[in-house]
């Protein structure tokens, strides 16, 4: 009976010996660090993985040597955990830092289990696993969670996390204010149990359900009682595999922003209304000025024509009569100039003042403006002294508008310089700019008014004490026209009665080989003063205004022409039908703005009549109060050969008709 157990025991030891070698081999190839300790807690074995990890030989770790690889801050904690486990003979688990072969301390998870046989502790066996990356991930997740909670708890907006049953898993401090109850009574409940405003609860439920179903972020807006406005975002939170586990909800109270948006919308509406009103007022102003210009030009045309007729009839009249006629002509010219300035300033202010630019020499234009002003200066006993040092330099500009700049400066100097004064005009080049200077010793300018000198309708003298006529537009046009050419204008004055100096700067072109020569309207011509005769010229004059029609008819008749008058398109066509072949008109002069059929429609009917009778086209002259460049272009495009503006100079009209008649007879 006793031998059998002894044999079994021996056999068992043999198997155990073979098993220990196998276990050692397995332990050396295990992917984790394996260790073993005796009952006295002294380590008796470390596998190859442990040796490779620490970089120290196994013998150095036996006994208590392994503690040398443990981080100094973790040693006492490790020994205490080991002591408790050995004393209680129970498994243990602890994390501590273990020095790796490269000197870096890595976090490891150590687990140990007691080896007990026949009720006696035979030691401990365990393993260590490198958990640094997991721990870092856990620390990062914990940090993110802490950061999130810190941020969420300090936000004025409601932050919540809800599950698929729409129960609150977390709410921040702001939720207590909105829901009117502590967080302990919110977490674990569904939102409809919190007595939210119906509109907010419905929008919340719909958006949350959509977020769980679609996995996409949802947004909603809702109004609550008391005119409070809310805006919400629900962001799905996915777990491994992509399933939506929870939804992060953010609820903003946008009541203040909604009120601000409403105010901005109201302000925008008011601004749009004001802009529309301003645009309407600007359009009405432009239309009004265009109509006024047209209505003023037409009677001025009659006055100018009748005055010319009277001058020819009263050639031997008394000096008083001749002075009266001259005064009428001066008044007409002054009114025309005021109308032109008013329209030009309006176009400049509205951005519709167009320029026709091309290379042009400056000096001929300046000299022409000076010579044209000499007569007015002599009449007022003023001297104009010139000093030109600009040569043949050119600029890229509109000759008519550049001449207008110089003319306005000279007119201003003549107007405000008392008799016996002197006006100095000079021109020179300064740093790529042409500087034209007009200096006078006249009434001067108060220092406080100089900054406003180029503003439209601004004049230094009060309306009840003004000594000079005008609307205060000339200098405003000087500045605006200079700017449109890339330049500017300046003024200096030392004060009242100390004169003024105006300078206009215009950009010069770079020197070029070709020179552009402008026609000189004042070049000496022995025949320039003699008007051509209209003897034998037959003219059809069409104008709906009686004064304009009859005054121009008398003017042309006095010049020898045979004139047929028509007040409308119908009358013009009747005149053509009744005229015999030898008495048909050679030249047609037609107004544009007429009731019923305007000048364009009238000319079309005349051209159709000419074609039907196998006749060539008669030269047609548009005589109109429409003075824009666009009006001139349209008149030429519609078939007119010439565009004249009212009030037309009698000499200009007679010359144009004579020239047209000559072309007809060739």
- What pLDDT is recorded for position 542? 93
- What pLDDT is recorded for position 39? 92
Task: Give the mean model confidence (pLDDT) for residues 187-193.
Answer: 79
- What pLDDT is recorded for position 11? 38
Cα dist from 217 to 155, 214, 246, 623, whole Å: 21, 8, 12, 72
Q: How confident is the model at residue 513 (pLDDT cuts 50, 70, 90)?
A: very low
Task: Give the mean model confidence (pLDDT) for residues 110-135.
Answer: 91
Please give the tally of structural domains in the chain: 4
Task: Give the mean model confidence (pLDDT) for residues 20-44.
Answer: 86
423 and 396 assigned to the same domain:
yes
Q: How confident is the model at residue 225 (pLDDT cuts 50, 70, 90)?
A: low
Within a domain: residue 338? no
C-alpha closest to that of 573 among 537, 545, 535, 612: 612
Q: What angle do CA 578, 579, 581 make, to 5 degrees?
A: 130
Within a domain: residue 266? no
pLDDT surpassing 70 at residue 500:
yes
C-alpha closest to that of 194 among 157, 226, 168: 168
Q: How confident is the model at residue 83 (pLDDT cuts 50, 70, 90)?
A: very high
User: How is 147-178 classified by DSSP, letter by letter?
Assistant: HHHHHHHH-SSEEEEE-TT-BEEEE-HHHHHH
Domain end (from 200, 224, 253) = 253
- What pLDDT is recorded for position 443? 86
C-alpha closest to that of 661 among 551, 535, 550, 541: 535
Identify the residue with better confidence: 317 or 41.
Answer: 41
Report the distance separating Cα 338 and Cα 384, nearest Å.
24
29-33, 525-529, 624-628: which range is least confident on average?
525-529
172-181, 568-577, 612-621: which range is least confident on average?
172-181
- What pLDDT is recorded for position 290? 64
Tell me the CATH number at 549. Answer: 3.40.50.2300
- What pLDDT is recorded for position 584? 87
362 and 482 assigned to the same domain:
yes
Q: What is the pLDDT of residues 326-348, one digit of tens each?
A: 777 767 666 766 666 666 666 66
pLDDT surpassing 90 at residue 541:
yes
Q: What is the pLDDT of residues 205-221, one digit of tens each?
A: 888 888 888 889 899 88
500 and 639 assigned to the same domain:
no
Residue 594 lies in domain? 538-665
125 and 157 assigned to the same domain:
no
Within a domain: residue 529? no
27 and 115 assigned to the same domain:
yes
126 and 150 assigned to the same domain:
no
pLDDT surpassing 70 at residue 36:
yes
pLDDT surpassing 60 at residue 519:
no
Q: Which string of b and e fits 112-131 if b means at least 16 CB within 10 Å?
A: bebbeeeeeeebbbbbbebb
109 and 175 assigned to the same domain:
no
In the chain, the percentage of residues whose pLDDT exceeds 70 is: 82
Q: How many CA atoms lie within 13 A of 254 on its CB side?
A: 17
366 and 477 assigned to the same domain:
yes
Sheet containing 500-507: order of strands:
383-389, 422-430, 433-440, 500-507, 488-492
Contacts 24+ apart (CB under 8 A), 129-132: 129/32, 129/33, 130/53, 130/106, 131/95, 131/107, 132/106, 132/107, 132/108
Domain end (from 253, 271, 302) = 253
Identify the residue with better confidence: 178 or 347.
Answer: 178
Cis peptide before 647 (omega within 30 of 0): yes
- What pLDDT is recorded for position 67? 92
Within a domain: residue 51? yes
- Let me know: does 426 contact 437? Beta carbons within 8 Å: yes
C-alpha closest to that of 113 among 83, 86, 80, 81: 86
CA–chain centroid gap for 232, Å, is 33
In the chain, the percentage of residues whose pLDDT exceeds 90 is: 29
Helices (H), 469-614: 474-484, 546-558, 569-578, 599-612
Tell me the CATH number at 85. Answer: 3.30.450.20
> Which residues, in sequence order, are bridge partners of residue 114?
124
Task: Give the mean model confidence (pLDDT) for residues 336-361.
Answer: 70
- Let me know: does 50 contact 101? Beta carbons within 8 Å: no
121 and 193 assigned to the same domain:
no
Task: Give the mean model confidence (pLDDT) for residues 244-252.
Answer: 85
101-115, 302-316, 533-547: which range is least confident on average?
302-316
Q: What is the pLDDT of residues 551-599, one digit of tens each?
A: 888 889 888 899 999 999 999 999 998 888 778 899 999 999 888 899 9
pLDDT surpassing 90 at residue 603:
yes
- State whether residue 70 is helix, strand or coil: strand
- Let me know: does 492 contact 501? Beta carbons within 8 Å: yes
Report the distance separating Cα 213 and Cα 198, nearest Å.
23
116 and 171 assigned to the same domain:
no
226-235, 476-485, 511-520, 552-561: which range is least confident on average?
511-520
Within a domain: residue 526? no
Residue whose tokens read 């021109």:
427
User: How is 411-452 classified by DSSP, letter by letter?
Assistant: HHHHHTS-TT-EEEEEEEEETTEEEEEEEE-SS---GGGGGG
- State whether residue 23 is helix, strand or coil: helix
Within a domain: residue 332? no
Domain end (from 205, 229, 253) = 253
CA–chain centroid gap for 618, Å, is 52
Q: Mention every residue, 6+ apart, whose C-beta is less than 8 A from residue 198.
A: none
Within a domain: residue 519? no
Q: Mention every residue, 6+ apart, whose C-beta is less than 8 A from residue 248.
A: 159, 160, 161, 234, 235, 236, 237
Radius of gyration (C-alpha) of the chain in whole angstroms: 53
pLDDT surpassing 60 at residue 314:
yes
- Let me know: does 621 contact 590? Beta carbons within 8 Å: yes
- What pLDDT is recorded for position 230? 81
Report the distance separating Cα 594 and Cα 631, nearest Å.
15
Within a domain: residue 10? no
451 and 386 assigned to the same domain:
yes
Task: Give the mean model confidence (pLDDT) for residues 158-176.
Answer: 85
- What pLDDT is recorded for position 517? 44
- State whether residue 309 is helix, strand or coil: helix
- What pLDDT is recorded for position 600? 93
Task: Count CB neighbours of 409 within 10 A.
Answer: 26
Residue whose tokens read 């000076």:
370
pLDDT surpassing 90 at residue 114:
yes
Q: What is the pLDDT of residues 254-306, one digit of tens each?
A: 777 777 777 888 888 888 888 887 777 766 666 666 666 666 666 776 676 77
546 and 631 assigned to the same domain:
yes
User: Per the structure block, which two tokens stand in for 640?
Assistant: 């007119």
User: Per the structure block, which two tokens stand in for 573?
Assistant: 């066509």
Contacts 24+ apart (CB under 8 A), 94-99: 95/131, 95/135, 96/70, 96/71, 97/70, 97/71, 97/73, 98/53, 98/54, 98/69, 98/70, 98/71, 98/128, 99/54, 99/69, 99/70, 99/71
């Amino acid at each position: 009976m006793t031998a059998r157990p002894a044999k079994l025991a021996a056999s068992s030891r043999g198997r155990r010996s073979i098993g220990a070698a196998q276990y050692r081999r397995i332990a050396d190839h295990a992917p984790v660090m394996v260790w073993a300790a005796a009952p006295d807690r002294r380590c008796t074995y470390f596998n190859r993985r442990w040796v490779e990890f620490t970089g120290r030989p196994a013998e150095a770790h036996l006994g208590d040597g392994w503690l040398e690889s443990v981080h100094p801050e973790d040693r006492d904690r490790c020994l205490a955990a080991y002591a408790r486990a050995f004393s209680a003979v129970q498994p243990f688990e602890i994390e501590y830092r273990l020095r790796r072969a490269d000197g870096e301390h890595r976090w490891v998870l150590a687990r140990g289990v007691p080896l007990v046989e026949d009720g006696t502790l035979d030691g401990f066996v365990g393993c260590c696993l490198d958990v640094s990356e997991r721990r870092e991930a856990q620390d990062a997740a914990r940090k993110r969670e802490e950061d999130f909670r810190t941020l969420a708890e300090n936000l004025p907006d409601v932050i919540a996390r809800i599950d698929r049953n729409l129960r609150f898993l977390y709410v921040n401090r702001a939720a207590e204010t909105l829901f009117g109850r502590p967080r302990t009574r919110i977490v674990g409940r569904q939102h409809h149990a919190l007595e939210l405003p119906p509109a907010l609860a419905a929008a919340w439920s719909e958006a949350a359900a959509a977020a769980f179903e679609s996995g996409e972020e949802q947004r909603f807006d809702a109004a609550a009682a008391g005119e409070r406005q809310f805006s919400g975002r629900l962001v799905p939170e996915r777990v491994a595999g992509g399933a939506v586990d929870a939804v992060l909800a953010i609820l903003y109270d946008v009541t203040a922003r909604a009120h601000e948006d409403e105010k901005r919308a109201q302000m925008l509406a008011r601004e749009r209304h004001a802009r529309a009103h301003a645009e309407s007022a600007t359009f009405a102003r432009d239309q009004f000025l265009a109509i006024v210009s047209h209505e003023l030009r037409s009677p001025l045309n009659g006055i100018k024509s009748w005055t010319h007729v009277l001058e020819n009839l009263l050639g031997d009249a008394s000096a008083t009569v001749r002075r009266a006629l001259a005064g009428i002509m001066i008044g007409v010219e002054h009114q025309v100039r005021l109308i032109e300035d008013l329209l030009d300033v309006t176009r400049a202010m509205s951005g519709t003042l167009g320029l026709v630019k091309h290379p042009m020499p400056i000096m001929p234009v300046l000299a022409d403006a000076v010579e044209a002003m000499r007569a007015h200066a002599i009449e007022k006993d003023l001297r104009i002294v010139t000093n030109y040092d600009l040569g043949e330099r050119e600029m890229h500009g509109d000759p008519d508008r550049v001449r207008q700049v110089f003319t306005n400066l000279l007119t201003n100097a003549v107007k405000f310089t008392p008799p016996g004064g002197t006006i100095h005009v000079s021109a020179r080049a300064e740093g790529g700019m042409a500087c034209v200077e007009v200096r006078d010793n006249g009434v001067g300018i108060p220092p406080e008014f100089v900054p406003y000198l180029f503003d439209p309708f601004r004049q230094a003298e009060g309306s009840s004490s003004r000594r000079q006529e005008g609307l205060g537009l000339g200098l405003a046009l000087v500045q605006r026209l200079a700017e449109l050419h890339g330049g500017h204008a300046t003024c200096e004055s030392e004060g009242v009665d100390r004169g003024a100096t105006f300078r206009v700067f215009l950009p010069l072109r770079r020197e070029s080989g070709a020179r552009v020569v402008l026609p000189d309207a004042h070049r000496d011509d022995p025949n320039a003063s003699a008007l051509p005769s209209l003897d034998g010229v037959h003219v059809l004059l069409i104008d709906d205004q009686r004064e304009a029609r009859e005054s121009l008819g008398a003017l042309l008749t006095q010049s020898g022409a045979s004139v047929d008058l028509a007040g409308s398109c119908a009358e013009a066509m009747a005149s053509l039908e009744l005229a015999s072949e030898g008495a048909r008109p050679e030249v047609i002069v037609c107004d544009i703005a007429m009731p019923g059929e305007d000048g364009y429609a009238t000319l079309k009917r005349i051209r159709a009549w000419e074609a039907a009778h196998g006749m060539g086209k008669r030269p047609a002259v548009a005589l109109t109060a429409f003075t824009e460049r666009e009006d001139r272009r349209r008149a030429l495009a519609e078939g007119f050969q010439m565009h004249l503006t009212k009030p037309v100079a009698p000499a200009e009209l007679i010359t144009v008709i004579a020239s047209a008649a000559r072309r007809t007879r060739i």
